[in-house]
Structure 1
Amino acid sequence: MIIPSKRSIWIQASLALSGLVAAPLTFGTPLFSIVVLAALVAEGAFLGLILLDGVFLPGPKSLVASRSIQGRFQENRTVPIELKFDPIDARGKRRLRYTIYDDTGPYFRVADFPLQCTGRAPYAVSYRATGMRRGIFSFAEVYVTVQSVPGLALRRFRLPCKDDVSVHSELPPVNGEFIAAQKRIHSVSGWQRRAAPGGEREFYRMRDYQPGDEPRRIDWKASARSGKLITREYEKEQKQTLFLVVDMSRWMALRSGQRSLLDEALSAALMLAGVASSRGDSVGLLAYGSEPHLFYPPARRETAALSAAVCALMPEDRSLHLDGLASFLGGALRNETILVLFTSVPHEDGIEDWVRFSKKLSGSHRPLLVLLENDETMEILKESPLEEVRRLSRRNNLFPLPDIPDLTADRVGAQQLATFHYLKEKERRLRFIAGPRAGIVTATRKGLNLSVLSEYLKIRFASTF
């Protein structure tokens, strides 16, 4: 589409204004007809110049656009993107001024638009985009406005440039010092160790020198203090299997801040997968709702492969089928697997199902149930009237509150009582669900990653298998 530029509109307005001013001054004189004719000729000639300028501007058949994404998108991570334009015909090779928008869609934040440049094709422009939501999205078209150097006309058109873009789950950073500290804590807590002497990496203990020990293992400082040779012994850590299960049911669609519970669960699961892979463990993944959506059997694999696989996962509109999940896990896993299940807080009607599920898995595996709660839970209890607490509790699948007298005269007392009963009911449920061998973690978005990592490392470094 060819349209006049702002410069052309101002010039046209000036010509028209000049004619309007001159015409009354010359009305009734021989110059009147000359002034009117001159104004019309000037307007017509200028419109012709605008049209001529626009005709020689490149259009959608004169350029081809390509997009280069220089990195991998993660939630809230900024990635540079380059748009390159190549000429197809002679009009695309002219030196022109370009204004460019890229159709990134609503789930990307871009602060650099519009992109402006002056040059001759081929040329390239760059901008930075931030993915705001996990998923697979399409960048469809590039919107181009081109203007010649005189700047009399503009031409606007769209260039096809479709790319499918995956935004991976946000991966929280893992502190190596925290992992080492957890290992020291759980290694001396009285639990049975899985490690055995004879390795190379991790220090195990000091002991007296024995014939056949390598000289490089002798700790000369300790030997000098004790007056006899002391050998440093290192442990040979047994490799383990971590299997991650992510609930895909409708309750996982509840939002925790800007993200859903499913997004939080996937981020925490990928974090654990990275920690396990770094220690040489096998990692598997299952996304399950009323049926399996994604299954990776336990194996040595990179976290990036799992991250790419879960990009398109979205919650179902059904509840979690626990019996089907238990049967699937029974056929897919061997014994002595660390099984971490990310799900939402169980509903009152399903407590007995969860108890059976936990008992069934505890016989052969070491299950860890991670129950996610909405960040607003405690804020609701602290600030809302009692009836509002009950209503939001039912809507958000929180622990239901028992009948509490409505202390309208003492609102603060009623809220404190509601909070007390909520926490008491929560503790009762968790005690029933967990059983003697299953670990359990309840956390909101703010404390999820640290709580899950700490509990997993407790099982990993001080297992009772």
Structure 2
Amino acid sequence: MKNLYINTRFFFALIGVGILYVFGFFFSPFVIVGHCILLVLFLATMVDYLLLFLQKEAILAQRILPEKLSNGDENPVKIDIRNNFGFPIHCKIIDEIPFQFQKRDFLIERKIEAGKNTLFQYVLEPKERGEYHFGALNVFTSSPLGLVSKRFSFQKDAHLAAYPSFIHLRKYELMALQNEFLLGGMKKIRKLGHTMEFEQIKEYVPGDDIRTINWKATSKSNRLMVNQYQDEKAQKVFILIDKGRTMKMPFNGLSLLDYSINATMALSHIILKKGDRAGMMAFSKKSENKLAADNKSGQLRKISESLYNIKTDFSESDFNRLYQEVKYSINQRSLVLLFTNFETLDGLNRQLKYLRGIAKNHLLVVVFFKNAELQSLIHKNPENMQEIYDEVIAEKFEFEKKLIIQELKKYGIYSVYTLPENLNVDVINKYLEIKARGIL
């Protein structure tokens, strides 16, 4: 009886009987009618109960989870329900999803025909990495009478880990292999030159660079021949992630740190597909989660595992220690992408000597963020004096960001200044641009 639940239809019928009894106080025939309806209600309820409780394994349900959750992305969760009753049923499905999603009103209602399966799905979008615990999958089933319901419970315990974003890796890969990206339209990265890694001699076709004509091969074959080059491979690319307090700033439910981690995952995938070696390191007061640059088959999995446990410690990041770590652990000229956030020029100047030290031996790209709220203030038409003040202050902060870019450029340090939502595309685009220009 613990799985028996009384439906609202039963209570409405009971209220109707009560009203008849009230009228019966004045007109006695209503009492007889009330007795009859109450008897019918009792018998119908017993029939409904027997229909639902006599048959074993009348309902089979299964929650189909992905192998792991992709942080910041929409992850589909499927539910498969089979009705083994000999009649159609009405189901209310309440899945006890992890508390992190704060969905207290989760309810799906479905009608399932006799002997049929129904497959449907809902979407979960995690906003933090870590363990997610699912409770029971509860299916409340009613017969066509609809007076009572029986609860069926399935899969009472399930654990799932949320890893850095991986769902869109395939999409980025397809675009990157063509050296093009969706950035307000298709952006083609123009090849400005070639590296010195020779691939083959081939016959000239319209569009080939005439500067690569091989005159010696042309004279021998009596056909126009050109040298074909390929991007230099096995170059080292290190990604440094600042996990200090400035990276805790939220945007659309994710922190800047999580955006950086997701971008690191996407960029590492492209780096490895391009044949280069990807490595990473996280830092604040000290350097942690170090992973040497490599391009072996299991490198992306290692990067994902390293990124999984990165948390901000709310400390002021020590760029001096970072400089020392880079100096002694990265002994070959490499592309170094630093994910951090400078809000003011003074904040940059305090760390500039360490960035310049890194840039002496490596190609350094500093990735920092636009403030989305300030951007909305700048592009908003002010309607009163307060909004004018807000716009002026926002423009002042935006101008200071541009000064940061110019200051970095003065010392040969590249930069990516972007909105968090565009981070993946912009950093991969910068990597492809550097590869295309052959400046590493």
The offset of 1:111, in angstroms, is 12
- The answer to whether the aligner puts 1:4 opposite 2:11 as a matched pair is no
Provide the C-alpha distance between the structure 2 equivalents of 1:5 and 1:419, rounded to a whole number of angstroms. 57
Q: 2:63 aligns with which of 67, 75, 81?
A: 67
Q: 1:244 aligns with which of 227, 239, 242?
A: 239
Provide the C-alpha distance between the structure 1 equivalents of 2:392 and 2:80, rounded to a whole number of angstroms. 60
1:369–1:439: 8 Å Cα contact kept in structure 2? yes
| Residues 43-52 or 245-254, more deviating | 43-52
Q: TM-score, normalised by structure 1?
A: 0.70
The offset of 1:243, in angstroms, is 1.3
Q: 1:234 to 1:58 in 2, by over 3 A?
A: farther
1:358–1:435: 8 Å Cα contact kept in structure 2? no
Provide the C-alpha distance between the structure 2 equivalents of 1:358 and 1:16, rounded to a whole number of angstroms. 81
Q: Report Cα offsets for 1:97-123 as digits up to 9, x if no partner.
A: 432122334649999941424367895
Q: Report Cα offsets for 1:118-165 as digits up to 9, x if no partner.
A: 367895542131425353433322232122343321234654142315
Provide the C-alpha distance between the structure 2 equivalents of 1:121 and 1:135, rounded to a whole number of angstroms. 40
Match of 1:195 in 2: 196
Q: What pairs up with 1:1-40 in 2 under 5 angstroms?
A: 2-26=4-28, 39=34
Q: What pairs up with 1:1-400 in 2 under 5 angstroms?
A: 2-26=4-28, 39=34, 43=38, 46-47=41-42, 50=45, 53-54=48-49, 57=52, 66-69=62-65, 73-74=69-70, 75-77=72-74, 79-83=76-80, 96-105=89-98, 107=101, 113-118=107-112, 125-131=119-125, 133-136=127-130, 137-156=132-151, 159=154, 160-166=156-162, 168-169=164-165, 171=168, 174=172, 175=175, 176-178=178-180, 181-184=188-191, 186-187=192-193, 194-199=195-200, 205-210=212-217, 228-239=222-233, 240-300=235-295, 301=297, 305=301, 306-307=303-304, 310-311=307-308, 313-345=310-342, 350-380=347-377
The offset of 1:15, in angstroms, is 2.9
Provide the C-alpha distance between the structure 1 equivalents of 2:228 and 2:118, rounded to a whole number of angstroms. 56
Q: Report Cα offsets for 1:187-213 as digits up to 9, x if no partner.
A: 2xxxxx533323489967222133997
Provide the C-alpha distance between the structure 1 equivalents of 2:392 and 2:19, rounded to a whole number of angstroms. 78
Provide the C-alpha distance between the structure 1 equivalents of 2:180 and 2:361, rounded to a whole number of angstroms. 29
2:17–2:38: 8 Å Cα contact kept in structure 1? yes
1:109–1:129: 8 Å Cα contact kept in structure 2? no
SS at match of 1:335: coil
Question: Aligned AA for 2:244?
Answer: S
2:92–2:141: 8 Å Cα contact kept in structure 1? yes
SS at match of 1:234: strand
Provide the C-alpha distance between the structure 2 equivalents of 1:309 and 1:148, rounded to a whole number of angstroms. 51
Count the aligned residue pairs: 409
The structure that has the greater radius of gyration is 1
| Residues 197-206 or 9-18, more deviating | 197-206
Q: Report Cα offsets for 1:44-80 as digits up to 9, x if no partner.
A: 7845763674477459x97775421358654343525
The offset of 1:231, in angstroms, is 1.2
The offset of 1:11, in angstroms, is 2.8
The offset of 1:370, in angstroms, is 1.0
Q: Report Cα offsets for 1:264-308 as digits up to 9, x if no partner.
A: 323433333233222111112223333445333212257863456
Q: Which runs of 5+ in 1 are unaligned?
A: 27-31, 87-91, 188-192, 219-227, 386-407
- The answer to whether the aligner puts 1:438 opposite 2:422 as a matched pair is no
Provide the C-alpha distance between the structure 2 equivalents of 1:456 and 1:376, rounded to a whole number of angstroms. 28
CA RMSD of aligned residues (A): 4.4
Q: 1:11 to 1:304 in 2, by over 3 A?
A: farther
Q: Report Cα offsets for 1:174-194 as digits up to 9, x if no partner.
A: 44353794251x32xxxxx53
2:245–2:313: 8 Å Cα contact kept in structure 1? yes
| Residues 148-157 or 305-314, more deviating | 305-314
2:242–2:282: 8 Å Cα contact kept in structure 1? yes
SS at match of 1:229: coil
Q: 1:421 to 1:128 in 2, by over 3 A?
A: closer
| Residues 246-255 or 133-142, more deviating | 133-142
Provide the C-alpha distance between the structure 2 equivalents of 1:203 and 1:197, rounded to a whole number of angstroms. 15
The offset of 1:250, in angstroms, is 1.7
1:71–1:79: 8 Å Cα contact kept in structure 2? no
Question: Aligned AA for 1:270?
Answer: M
Provide the C-alpha distance between the structure 2 equivalents of 1:147 and 1:97, rounded to a whole number of angstroms. 5
Match of 1:452 in 2: 427
Provide the C-alpha distance between the structure 1 equivalents of 2:216 and 2:102, rounded to a whole number of angstroms. 63
SS at match of 2:214: strand
Q: 1:115 to 1:321 in 2, by over 3 A?
A: farther
Q: 1:464 to 1:208 in 2, by over 3 A?
A: same
Percent identical pairs in the alignment equals 13
